[in-house]
Amino acid sequence: MQRPILILGGYGNFGKRITRALVKDGFPVLVTGRNQSKARALVSELGPLAAEAVFDANKNLPEELRKHQPKVLINTCGPFQSADYNIANTCIGHGVHYIDLADGRDFVAGIRALDDAARSANVSVVSGVSTVPGLSSAVLDYYKCEFTEYDELIFGISPGQQAERGLATTQGILTFVGKPLRPFAGHPKAYGWQEIHRQHYPDLGSRWMANCDIPDLDLLPERYNIRSIKFSAGLELSAIHLGLWGLSWLIRLGLPINLPRFAPQLLALADWFNRFGSAAGGMHMIMRGNDCNNDHIERRWFIIAKNGHGPHIPTIPAIILAKRWASNKLSAAGAYPCIGLVSLENYLEELEAYAITIITNKI
């Protein structure tokens, strides 16, 4: 009998999309969390390959792993900015492969601290299995044959206002708004949600963008020897984006405001504005450097999602790795960030069913 894939937060914003994709491809899934009604509703929709288990992962995970014997655990329960590695360590101790969708800069890079333990247990522990750095590294790997070196990478994400948002993602962003970011390649002093600028997206128009703190700021220069890197995120509606920019100045000026504490209220307020926005979002990557003739080149890569399909994009690396591992096509044992594990071709193949297009140009 095939061992299940256990998904922590399996009915959440990203979890339910991962769950549906895995069940659709014939993999047994265990939907877990602390809300029985939500877990049961999703399981009843999906049929016999899906089951539910309701528990607190921070308290009851060891006994649940012994009971259900999953082959892979996917952790979607953020925010990861303040999380520890207790869940990953528990998986290692029970011989279960571990995946998370973490976006915390320190959390993802720090997963390497578990490498020796993961190797000894012969399991794979991978963090940041999401758009960044999963997709961003896939794009860099795809285009590296055109570059002898990457001098500069400018990239970012702007979701549609009507795209479904999760509380954990909102809390994660609010942890760094207005705060000084740890220096990164080419930028010794930056602040969260500042340095606002306009970014043009094909089919979407121009949107406001602002500084974000993500694992790629450390991981990509290390792997690709990038001299200058800059990542930003943007909200479709100017009023919301600029409102958060205004709050960032209050934090930067030293006012003792705990923004993550107000994440539920701010998320509810943002949702009220959905009627004024669209369900279309995008991601851009602008890569600059030299080619084999030592000429300066620039490659622009965009992924555009419509019809509210943008939230599927972060789930793809976890879906791909979980299917591989559940089919005994395992990655190397150890603990490491999700860099270079999913090819761009495989990524886009998983997205073919959605209203998602790729647009590129070379300068």
- Give the DSSP letter of residue 343: -
| Of 140, 312, 136, the residue nearest 232 (C-alpha) | 136
What is residue 170's predicted lDDT score, i.e. its pLDDT? 92
For the packed helices 57-68 and 86-93, what is the interaxial angle rounded to 10 degrees?
20
Contact 300, 284 (CB under 8 A): yes
- Dig out the tokens for 27 from the structure: 């993999």
Alpha-carbon Rg of the chain, whole angstroms? 20
CA distances from 350 to 139, 221, 283, 343 (A): 15, 27, 17, 11
Predicted confidence pLDDT, tens digits, the chain (363 residues)? 689 999 999 999 999 999 999 999 999 999 999 999 999 999 999 999 999 999 999 999 999 999 999 999 999 998 898 899 999 999 999 999 999 999 999 999 999 999 999 999 999 999 999 999 999 999 999 999 999 999 999 999 999 999 988 888 899 999 999 999 999 999 999 999 999 999 999 999 999 999 999 999 999 999 999 999 999 999 999 999 999 999 999 999 999 999 999 999 999 999 999 999 999 999 999 999 999 888 999 999 999 999 999 999 999 999 999 999 999 998 899 999 999 999 999 999 999 999 999 999 877
What is residue 244's predicted lDDT score, i.e. its pLDDT? 97
Q: Which domains does the chain have, with CATH numbers?
A: 5-130+314-341 (3.40.50.720), 132-309+353-362 (3.30.360.10)
Cα–Cα distance measured from residue 266 to residue 177, given in angstroms and rounded to the nearest whole number = 13
What is residue 294's predicted lDDT score, i.e. its pLDDT? 87
Provide the sign of the torsion angle of the four alpha carbons 125, 127, 131, 134, taken in this order: negative
Q: What is the pTM of this model?
A: 0.95
What is residue 133's predicted lDDT score, i.e. its pLDDT? 97
3-state secondary structure of 213: coil
- The neighbour count for residue 265, using CB atoms within 10 Å, is 9
What is residue 323's predicted lDDT score, i.e. its pLDDT? 97
